[in-house]
Structure formats: structure tokens, C-alpha cells
Structure 1
């Protein structure tokens, strides 16, 4: 059976606060942990009023401490924004505190607009060209002591140096990341919830070209997609209207907090807006539990996904929790037995 996981962007609703959205993420993670979800990943976005998730490494620590069973990870750390050594050390610290439960998902994009991306990298080497491959190579070489002895970085070790790096996943929305993940023997997560590229082709390309590595012997493919579930199809459509309005606004360069279904349904959409909504709905699974299960099962089979990772960007926190509950019931997820939480070492 395909495992289910969650991608959380900590959505900020109109009239709400980003601080509360972060606390809601911890609440949702506890809920998902009890339902039997396999992974819970946090995104990295910057300077967006509708997304509070800007520091996934901090949130990973908070959520791992509040849960017992799920793998907690980044979906992802946007590598262009960070020095590779910093990423290694932060995730090794997380792995030391929560052994066997941390995932390191890496993305190519900055997760923001151009000006904000420059502000994020102001004290780093800012280049016009894409330097993701250089940063990834540096991260991999530092992680496995791969630099030759005559290289200045040969004596640089990510601390704590007695802790392994968590599993690496590359995030992507095209063939490029799929092939790269396959080449280096990493896990791969395809962003079906916003990608214009064919998910089936990218996911199968990854699987066909995968080369085993010391970290991963067989391909591990995750399909990230959007879903909204309610007791009835009509209620699910009402909840999903928030997504429709948010998509229309984003297409016009407006990144406002998420509006309620009442505001979204009353919005005066143009014919072009409605065309955009219809196109975006092709990527969404919206309906009652049976409808959404059928849609996600079809996607999993077509893409040969090992896991389906769900993101649900709707207005009401309790409705979001209910959506994940209904989905867990539809897929008959088993509530796991709690793993023992690591205890801090005694002082002295």
C-alpha cells in the first residue's frame, strides 16, 4: 500500500497571525502522528504573507519533539539560500537529537522573489547563474569526507562528526531534478501540486535511471500533491474555493493571506480567472473520501510513487485536520505504536 505523508507550508489565513499558523503546524503534526502518516515535511518560503514556514530546520526540531513516530523533514531546504556546511551541521544536530526520524529535502529554487533572494544571500557569493550543482557537490563532499587531502576543505568536518547525515531527497518539478536524484542515489519528491511538467514522465525517469548509493539502495519516489477532503463533495468544493482564489491572486502577483470560503465564493472572477482555476483544478484532488482516495490511488499507480505527500492549503485549521483524518480513514492508515523518545544525556 502506498504510504501517506504531509507537506505543511503553515498557511496564514486572513485575520489570523503567522505565529498562530506555526503553532497550528505543531498541532496538526501531533494529529497526523496519531493517524499513522509516515512523514511530515516543512517548506521554506520567504516574504510571503500567506506562508509562515520560513525556517524548516527550526520547525523540524519543534515538531520532532512533539511527535513520536513520523519522519520529520524539510520540503525543502532551499540550498541556494544556505552555506552547505551550515545545512549539514543543522541536520546532523537534528539527527543526533531524533535519530532515524529526520529527512533532508533539498530544493533548487530560492523560495521567494529575486530581491528577497539577494537579501538572503547578501553575505554569500551572489551569482547570476544557477549554482545549485556547486552547492550540492560541496554538501556531498563535506558529508562523506570526499575532498582530496590537498584541498583546503579536507579538514573541515560537519559537527557533530559522529552522527550520520539524514537521508537526502531532491525536490523538483521537472525532469532535471529527477535525473539528478537518480544519478546521486538520493530520494526524489516531485511537486505535482504546482508543476506544469508531466509527473508520470519525471517519476518514471527517476526510477529507471536510479543508481544505488551508500545512502539508498533502491529508488524512493514521493509524489507531492494537493487534496481537500470533506464528508461530502459539496463541502470539499466549498473549502477548496480558498485555493481557487489564492491561485488566481498569485497569477496576478498578489500573495495575500488565505481568504475564507465565503469571501472566495463571492469573488468576481473574470473568464480568464475561471480558466486558470479549471487548469489548476487538474492538479487537485477534491471531494469526499472515496473520490479523493480513487484519484490519489490512480496517481500513485500512474507515477509508481512509493509515497503520496499531501498538502492542504485551506482557510480553517480544524477543517484541515478533518481533511487529513478522513483521508487517513479512507486509506485505512494504522495508528502506530509510539516510539520511545530519546532522553537527554545526564549532566556531568
Structure 2
């Protein structure tokens, strides 16, 4: 892993045992984790966007980005990602232009097609209009990139828009670094056509995330005539502990959540112990599903995790891996990131 860069993708999970007002504390936990990861040598720290979720407390990545960038010095900080279907590209361009002015050459803008929440949240975010469907996303992404790079065609209706604040032309990298998040070939091809960097979310569906998605991305970039070097990143679910048994126990909270067996009303992330008690009632099919999901994650001791991370990086042809670690306990999440840089 000597030449491999590690990045944090933080979904700001709500840790039920941290305080009585645990949801409001999740943002502070993200800031504390980011400060440690900055010292440990992580390359980037990205925060996610979720709405109407009792388990993830990150509805506004731009606010967390500002807070985290102000207390870190070395990492790039960004969104993983802004769910663009909810927003005007102009507003997103202004927001990230301001962040880039405040923290020059440290801001990443990652965008995603998914809503980051349920239909109720999408309806509320769009009111008094209706939620946009996915067909508008390519156009939004293209306009956003053009606005930030200040190269809208002269005959475009918004060609005369000013993107505040004005950045010095002497700045080495005027626009934030732009990324598209995806978990399929469709998003990869769109990222290639748009000339954006690509972050591939293997943690969403390991069974359907293959290296040929990056091949499709490279082909789309070449066909679109983009000559500049592109960055590509693979995002995985990772759980690291002192022993294999501890790591599997740690990961069980996320595995159970992925199975979506939690009864309505039990909204907190379950403790690993609670999950193991529930496993005793699993049907054989459910137990097979549990084990299969666990196998799709990177779980184990530092040595085992580092070996698997290196193997995945080589298989996908990338030098950067983003780590998603959703746990019941904040201390365990923090330790997992510490062990991987030890």
C-alpha cells in the first residue's frame, strides 16, 4: 500500500450511545474524526448527503465541508456527494466556488444522481415544484461543470452569469476538483463524457461493481476528446479491528442494516451484540444473505484489510481507495481508521 492513497467517505452515522441528543452530535463526531484522519495522512475527507434518515445525519455537506476544512490542514475536503437533482446548478456552483475561495486547492465537489432519501424527502425538497426525474441529471451536471469552469457557450441563456466570489486567475486551480459518484456503467459513461473524475461506489453493491466499469469510463472520456489525466477512486465498506472476530462483530451493524430487516420504529443503528442475538432467529436464507454481505465488505485485522485493499486497487486499476465505515460506536469507527494507517 506504499503508493496507494486512502480517503475517508463519511456518511455521518448517528451513534446512539454518544449522547441523549445523539443526532445533533453526529456532525461534531464527523469533525472530530476528520481532525484525526488529517493527522494520520488520509488524502481526502468526503461527507455524504442524506435526508429524512434517523441513522445518517448529514443533510448539508457544504456546511460540514466548511467546518472540517477550517480545522484540518493537509487533506482535501469535499462532498461524496451533493445530490444534484434537488438543487440548481448555479447555486451549487456559487457554494463550492465560495468554499474553494476560503480553502484554495483543497475542495472537491462530488455529485450524485441518487436522491439520498425517500420520496417524502424528495417531495419536501422540491416544494412547491415537483421532484426532477433522473433524465435531467446529465444536463444539470454539464451546466454545473461549465459554470464552475466559466465556459458556458456564448449563446447560452446564462452565459453572462457571474459566479461569486471572483477568484484570481493566478490561482493554480480555479475551480474545485469535480467528481461524479456512480455505482454503474451508466454513471461512469456520463462522467467520462462530462470530463469529470469518477468515484465508483463498490460499497453499495459489490456484486455488480466490476473493473470494466472503469474501462467504460475511460472509453467515454476518449470518445468525448478529453485529453487531461483523470482521477478515479474506488469506495469500499471497510471495518478494521485488532482481531478478525472483533472486525466481523464491528461490521455486523452495517450488514444487518443492509439486510433491511429492522422493524419500523427501531430507528437507531443496532449494537453488534443485538445483531448477534437476532441472528439466532435467522432462517437459512437470511443467514446466507448475512454471510454474503459480510464477504462483500473488507473486514479484518490491519494486515488482512491492507492486503485486500491493495488487491482491489490493482484489480480496478486505481491508486485511491475511499473507506466507508458505519458502526454503532464512534470509538470503534475511529479506531478502524487509525489501524489502517498504523
TM-score (norm 2): 0.90
Match of 1:190 in 2: 200
Q: Which stretch has the larger CA shift, 214-223 or 64-73?
A: 214-223
Shift of 1:244: 2.1
Shift of 1:110: 0.8
Gaps of 5+ in 2: 169-173
2:186 equivalent to 1:176: yes
Q: Is the 8 A contact 1:190 1:199 kept in 2?
A: no
Alignment of 1:56-205 (within 5 A): 56-124=61-129, 126-128=131-133, 130-162=135-167, 164-195=174-205, 196-205=207-216
Match of 1:274 in 2: 287
| Distance in 2 between residues matched to 1:284 and 1:295, nearest whole Å | 10
Q: 2:58 aligns with which of 53, 64, 68?
A: 53
In structure 1, the residue corresponding to 2:6 is in which secondary structure? strand
Shift of 1:126: 3.5
**Alignment deviations for residues 72-100 of structure 1 (CA, whole Å, 9 cap, x no partner):** 00000010011101100110110000001
2:332 equivalent to 1:327: no
Q: Is the 8 A contact 2:17 2:329 kept in 1?
A: no
Match of 1:311 in 2: 324
| Distance in 2 between residues matched to 1:48 and 1:259, nearest whole Å | 15
Match of 2:6 in 1: 4
* Alpha-carbon distance change, 122 to 250 in structure 1, aligned in 2, over 3 angstroms: farther
Shift of 1:174: 0.3
Q: Which stretch has the larger CA shift, 243-252 or 8-17?
A: 243-252
* Alpha-carbon distance change, 213 to 67 in structure 1, aligned in 2, over 3 angstroms: farther
| Distance in 2 between residues matched to 1:208 and 1:105, nearest whole Å | 21
Shift of 1:102: 0.4
2:297 equivalent to 1:287: no
* Alpha-carbon distance change, 69 to 185 in structure 1, aligned in 2, over 3 angstroms: same
Shift of 1:197: 2.0
* Alpha-carbon distance change, 77 to 289 in structure 1, aligned in 2, over 3 angstroms: same
Over the residues paired in the alignment, what is the CA RMSD in angstroms?
A: 2.3
Shift of 1:215: 9.6
In structure 2, the residue corresponding to 1:58 is in which secondary structure? helix
In structure 1, the residue corresponding to 2:322 is in which secondary structure? strand
| Distance in 1 between residues matched to 2:132 and 2:124, nearest whole Å | 13
| Distance in 2 between residues matched to 1:262 and 1:198, nearest whole Å | 30
Match of 1:345 in 2: none
In structure 1, the residue corresponding to 2:135 is in which secondary structure? coil
Shift of 1:162: 2.2
Q: Is the 8 A contact 2:27 2:58 kept in 1?
A: yes
Shift of 1:242: 1.2
| Distance in 2 between residues matched to 1:11 and 1:97, nearest whole Å | 27
- Counting matched residue pairs gives 329
In structure 1, the residue corresponding to 2:326 is in which secondary structure? coil
Shift of 1:206: 2.0
Match of 1:336 in 2: none
Shift of 1:135: 1.1
In structure 2, the residue corresponding to 1:155 is in which secondary structure? coil
Shift of 1:306: 2.2
Shift of 1:217: 1.7
| Distance in 2 between residues matched to 1:176 and 1:242, nearest whole Å | 30
Q: Is the 8 A contact 2:8 2:323 kept in 1?
A: yes
* Alpha-carbon distance change, 212 to 205 in structure 1, aligned in 2, over 3 angstroms: closer
Q: Is the 8 A contact 1:186 1:216 kept in 2?
A: no
| Distance in 1 between residues matched to 2:134 and 2:249, nearest whole Å | 43
**Alignment deviations for residues 43-76 of structure 1 (CA, whole Å, 9 cap, x no partner):** 0010111101111000000000011100000000
Q: Which stretch has the larger CA shift, 271-280 or 206-215?
A: 206-215
